[in-house]
Structure 1
């Protein structure tokens, strides 16, 4: 979508997106294949992301951020994902952590963590998922028990992005086992706190440079001042954060899809069969048209959710619509791009197969497609 045609966004939003697009093309894209091939952590880009303002793009100026609108944030995340999905995954996981402090914390906590996080000198992680507790919070087994003026955290979190390199981890733990979701509280835990241990990075199918870890908490002492909000409000904070995160997953999906569409279009123009470009074949033209239509629809859903976020309106259902549709659509789009490339698309040389692998996780994390359908249906049924 040309910048001038993006609905809801202002010229300032577009200007920021163009700035990020230049950075992504010059800095991120040239390293994307190497990061994927070597499964190297995308943290090599973290200082540059801080310097250009991306590390704090989701934060207000009062806490060191760029004060960008949710629409500018959407467009920027799309640009990063189009260049390097691994870097996008690292960045948006950091946004989950800083959003948790912004939305659930107090001013002292914001002052302590957010300026460094915005500058790119601190990296955050968001630890909600557990080995036996994904979508159902009632299955959470990590416990936070009172001990004087502190809490003692014990448990295991799984699939936690950034945890191995993070400076702080937002940990969700049960403070009242009898209260279900209302018994979950959130804590800011320094990564170097005694008792915090990370396993090795998990080998993954795609987004190989966005490292994920199992995090063990063995009697980790956390002062009461590091609890985010009142006891029992952690799950509500997590849900607000995930509304934001699902819009960012939609942006990541449209970025990956855009890369796939662009690769397919360029290949159709360059690849010749029988002395003429395959772009002349109507069957492939129709495939390209369907890809572009799905991408346009996904982006519009995402921008609409971002518009509501900007207005301060509730956007849970709209975020679920956007995440569901975009995560499903990107899989079809990059698969079609690979098909258009034929046998060449199956090789690592052209990068299309990397897009296919990178896109797959989007249907799973930050709420699977099935969970998004449940959110939408429950909202419809009241």
Structure 2
């Protein structure tokens, strides 16, 4: 990736920032990261080593490492003002992902696996090697005289993907080659994009998406939709309200559909960090407060993503804190009179939805809701807030509306 990105950057006269994540899981990783730094310096590019610090989980280590890696990379991109992140996933990775998704029973959307271009936290993720087999990339390295390291964890029997790799010869023998699995992912990706277009159209007609991330759906229209399409709508809404990285599995979605159809069931339930509530002909999907990310400090002039749902641009010179509103935050909002300046649609939301709103405070403790208090740029004490909040899911999934009483950006 560095070899080709360097050639591209010189041709286009564009700067490169090279990022290497040291997960701290192998003693060799530190030296490998240092070697990448040395090569980047030889080519004249900036380089940063990102360390995954803290305790590592015993279960689900590789999944946690992938999540931590993407979080570190996107955070570094925000700090550097970069908008595009290149990742070196190849065709063999894609085939393994398909098998892994089948094993996890993620349903048709999961079988689409990785897309060449996706979004995370406001950063565009691009995978230019996704159609290329690993053997071709290795051959390129050899021809170009590029030394490379093999990651021993790829063969570690503790991890599911290592088991899948050991099955490769048997799968190849019956025709389930990496090439065919990758073609399956490509075909399912086309189907997923077509379904996404239909879902976006349905949301525009039958749903209201609030700037705080809460979604309200017309149950009558939802009940009239075919079951598979209803499931696609609900998966999309769960991503908007809860920023779930992967869609719920088939069994979880079947349970959700049964709950919606059962008039005798409780009117509230949770799934994937979201609270779902039925009120007559309306289904409200909102973020659970307990599932929200912890408060985040954003330095002056910086951009960051909070809770996987909101992109926050701090245009002030001073740091701000962004975190879930919670009960105490809501009491402060009421004391300051900010609740009276909320749009009617925001005031009409269920109380649990308010508790998961992102609330902005400065070092003096001044509170603001810049994404909800429309037309107001000043807190009661005339402190100037220059903070812009984007609800990411609507932009990244190209859902244009309708927004409730307002805009995404204030």
Please classify the TM superposition score into its range, dividing by the shorter chain length.
under 0.3
User: Between Structure 1 and Structure 2, which shows a larger proportion of helix residues?
Assistant: 1
Instruction: Give the number of the structure with larger relative contact order, counting CA–CA contacts within 8 Å between residues 6 or more apart.
Output: 1
User: Is the radius of gyration larger for structure 1 or structure 2?
Assistant: 2
The TM-score with structure 2 as length reference comes to: 0.26
